[in-house]
Amino acid sequence: MDKLFWNGLTDLGARVDNVQIFIIALMGVCFIACNAVLIYFMLKYRRKTDNDVTSTVSGNQLLEIVWTVIPAVIMLFVFWYGVTVWGDLRTPPENAMTINVTGVQWAWRFEYPDGRIEAEDLYVPKGEAIRLNMISSDVLHSFFIPAFRVKEDVVPSQYTQLWFQAEKEGSFDIFCTEYCGDNHSFMLGKVHVLGPEAWDRWVRRVPDPNSIPLTPVQRGEKLFSKWGCAGCHSIDGSPNIGPTFKSLMGRAESMSDGQNIIVDENYIMESINQPDRQIVAGYPKGQMPAFEGQLSQQDITDIIDYIKSVE
Amino acid sequence: MSTHSENTHYLEAKGFNNWFFSVDHKRIGIMYLVAILFFFILAGIAAMVVRAELLYPGQQIIDRHGYNVAFTLHGAMMVFLFIVPGIPATLGNFCLPIMIGAKDVAFPRLNLLSFWIYLLGAAIIVFSLIGPPGESWLDTGWTLYTPYSVESSSGVIPVTLGVFVLGFSSILTGLNFVVTIHKMRAPGMTWHRLPLFVWALYSASLIQILATPVVGITLLLLVMERTFQIGFFTASLGGDPILFENFFWFYSHPVVYIMILPAMGVVAEILPVFSKKPIFGYRAIAYSSLAIALVSFFVWGHHLFVSGMSDWSRWVFSLLTFAVAIPTAIKVFNWISTLYKGSIQLDSPMLYACAFIFLFTIAGLTGLPLATLATDVHLHDTYFVVAHFHYTMQGGTVIGLLAGIHFWFPKIFGKMYSEKRARIGFWMLFIGFNATFMPQFVLGYMGMPRRYFDYLDQFATLHFMSSIGAFINGIAYLYIFGNLIHAVVKGRAAEKNPFGSLSLEWTVPSPPPLTNFDEIPIVTDWTYGYGTEQTV
């Protein structure tokens, strides 16, 4: 842990620190103003005799209005300032590299687009946007990189995400911040930010040439044919019994109940597990079997990665 | 005391039955006080264990599972058994009827029942924390988040049952207070003449009545899930784990205001007495209590800012959370203004009241970066939150409770404590408390997560400081309670009105007679008519 503020590791982290410093300054001013007056009054009006003359003033309407309106305006401003920066924290760039993260008691597991799996330590290239698509295989966890000012809970049965773009090489702590049992405080890891050369070496490093792993997309494609998804879902955009997978991810769809949604990981997972919960308008219910309990979480993530790749 | 010759004071009758079956609000208040302080000490011991373990990196006195049990015991007992009943059931029970000129609460027997239910609920909680013989103690944290709580032990349903039973105690006390305040006020005690402590109790009671039933719903859903395998909270059954967080905080967040509002009321009683000044902005303080009670129901989502809740909800809950800051700020400004041109006597109750304002500004202001979405992402579930929470709960509620105990002590027991030792105790507590939790703000910003049995070396210095502070904090409580217990046994007799208060409870003898008043008083003015200036 070097600098407490503005460690220069991510641009967004610096903007979060701007908000934080602004709030700390605001806190400081309010704290000193309130307590300076409090202590001044305590000393200045200290009882001298039992018959001290005291004021009978019991209120002032103008003051009440002033100290209602001013805090309200300040609060609105802080809220708005926080929301604008947070909005960017929540919006990964389009071109971000997605790494699948699984939280288990008590370790982190990272799967790269090329099928490579790392446990506990995350390796990322410098200067590239990284999006973590996270899910838990047991209880609640929370993925926290203090140096980058990012955190999000990792939940069973629901994908959550966070993103960052590291601008400096180095190794930084990863903590689990949602209590998850006996070894909660040992569910640690490091994120290693690698420069272009080191990253290249790391990418080309093949631990065992005989067992080059399938990528999640390849595994998803296999599952796609194994479970007969192609019977109803085309991959070239042509109409079929179910919606096509072509450019499905991120598409705006109208549901039969009138809702409009953007297709994301969580929607696809729900559609695999419980297809009839939300049906795209124009398609009949009851056509697709519910796969809840038949596919592992890993299978579902692989299928989603495959669907994402169909463009 | 010739006017009260046939009306003996309430402490006179001795013996178990005279206490345990007494429907006198004062005795019930005392019994509550003894009970909650008992659990306060137990939970405090758990806190000392936690801090001793965290003195240095690595294992010190207990293993990782023992540590998780210790912080669970600390949190669950402090919250459910000590701080929720805290001020209302003790000082509230004792003072409320006398303050409004009544001989008792509206339903004295219901009041006793609520104490018995409290004992029952406390027993259920304690036994479910400890668990059946041979099984491990509950280690889920007081928040009981699913699915961990469901997987790790069978304790979650009994604890929720315990909270539910305690909830009835809370609801009945709240109901009793609301009816008492509506129907039992002495002639002339209009709403705008009510002491502000009564306003605060009224607001807290409304929350007690309205928020507590949600615990019952949660319990019902948990039981249905366990029994019929209907998925509500467990992902493998098709449930949503975040739903439990929503239910839990829908109850537990308003409860935070049940804890703090009465303490604010105590402070508003003490400030005018010790500065011989009318309270400043009476209506603003009274109505801001109601405003806080109302808004408190709509901010629970800020506990879920990084939980996976939808972004839209996070946005809305952030805005609503900022709304709470406004009535809170209004209170602080009015309290401070009360001191203006007063004649301030810094006796121990006043020291505690002023410390409350000081510490509460820290508590409130450190809430700002937690309400702000961009900064909360970083601070969420770190020691920053731990410190913020303890500034509100210990720096706020406990300091407020101690202010009230020192203030009403002569009235309650008819004895006087050593003022000198009370002040020494106060300063020990003030120093110990700040030494414990100030470092934790920094730890949190450095990224130290909460509920960690062990920590990395970069956190070691601040953890050590915090632990030393905690030990001073713990010793301070022993000293303070020692002083008070000594006074109960050996203290000199207290006067009827040693601090010169104008409130009704100080017009009756110390300790008060069994029925409070021989004749119901007729109220002609508010209770804050201090000040000697002849103008205005």
Residue type, B296: S
Domain-embedded: residue B528: no
Domain-embedded: residue B6: no
User: Which residue, among A74, A75, A149, would best test binding to B if mutated, counting the most B CBs under 10 Å from its CB?
Assistant: A75
Domain-embedded: residue B307: yes
Instruction: Give CA–CA dist B156/B234, Å, rounded.
Output: 13
Instruction: Give CA–CA dist B433/A122, Å, rounded.
Output: 39
User: Which residue, among A53, A56, A64, would best test binding to B if mutated, counting the most B CBs under 10 Å from its CB?
Assistant: A56
The partner residue sitting opposite A89, judged by closest CB among B143, B343, B374, is: B374
Question: Which structure tokens are listed for A282?
Answer: 């124009």
Comparing alpha-carbon positions, the chain B residue that sits nearest to A185 is B452
The partner residue sitting opposite A79, judged by closest CB among B318, B358, B528, is: B318
The partner residue sitting opposite B361, judged by closest CB among A34, A64, A149, is: A34
In the prediction, which pLDDT does B535 show?
Answer: 47
Q: Assess A20–B contact: CB distance below 8 Å, yes or no.
A: yes
Can you give the pLDDT of all 536 residues of chain B as single tens digits?
Answer: 344 445 688 888 888 888 999 999 999 999 999 999 999 999 999 999 999 999 999 999 999 999 999 999 999 999 999 999 989 999 999 999 999 999 999 999 999 999 999 999 999 999 888 877 777 788 888 888 888 887 776 677 888 888 889 989 999 999 999 999 999 999 999 999 999 999 999 999 999 999 888 888 888 888 888 788 888 888 777 788 889 899 999 989 999 999 999 999 999 999 999 999 999 999 999 999 999 999 999 999 999 999 988 899 999 999 999 999 999 999 999 999 999 989 999 999 999 999 999 999 999 999 999 999 999 999 999 999 999 999 999 999 999 999 999 999 999 999 999 999 999 999 999 999 999 999 999 999 999 999 999 999 999 999 999 999 999 999 999 999 999 999 999 999 999 999 999 999 999 998 999 889 988 999 988 989 888 775 44
Comparing alpha-carbon positions, the chain B residue that sits nearest to A38 is B336
* CB proximity under 8 Å: A 197-256 to B: none
Spell out the alpha helix ranges (H) of B14-107: 16-20, 25-53, 64-76, 86-87, 93-99
CB contact (8 A) between residue A138 and residue B151: yes
Alpha-carbon gap: A106 to the closest alpha carbon of chain B (Å): 13
CB B112 within 8 A of CB B22: yes
In the prediction, which pLDDT does B3 show?
Answer: 45
CB contact (8 A) between residue B446 and residue A140: no
CB contact (8 A) between residue A1 and residue B530: no
- Chain B residue numbers with beta carbons less than 8 Å from the beta carbon of A60 are 280-281, 337
| Residue A209's pLDDT band (cuts 50, 70, 90) | low
Query: What is the pairing mode between strands A141-145 and A97-104?
Result: unpaired
Structural domain range at position B62:
27-506
Burial class (CB in 10 A: 0-12, 13-18, 19+), B310: exposed
Domain-embedded: residue B208: yes
Give the CATH number for residue B480: 1.20.210.10
- From residue A168, give the alpha-carbon distance in Å to each of A20, A122, A194, B175: 22, 15, 8, 60
What pTM does this model have?
Answer: 0.91
Q: Which residues contact A7 (CB under 8 A, 6 or more apart)?
A: A13, A147
Domain-embedded: residue B4: no
CB contact (8 A) between residue B380 and residue A151: yes
Domain-embedded: residue B118: yes
Domain-embedded: residue B518: no
As a whole number, mean pLDDT of residues A110-133 equals 90
Structural domains counted in chain B: 1
Domain-embedded: residue B520: no
In the prediction, which pLDDT does A210 show?
Answer: 61
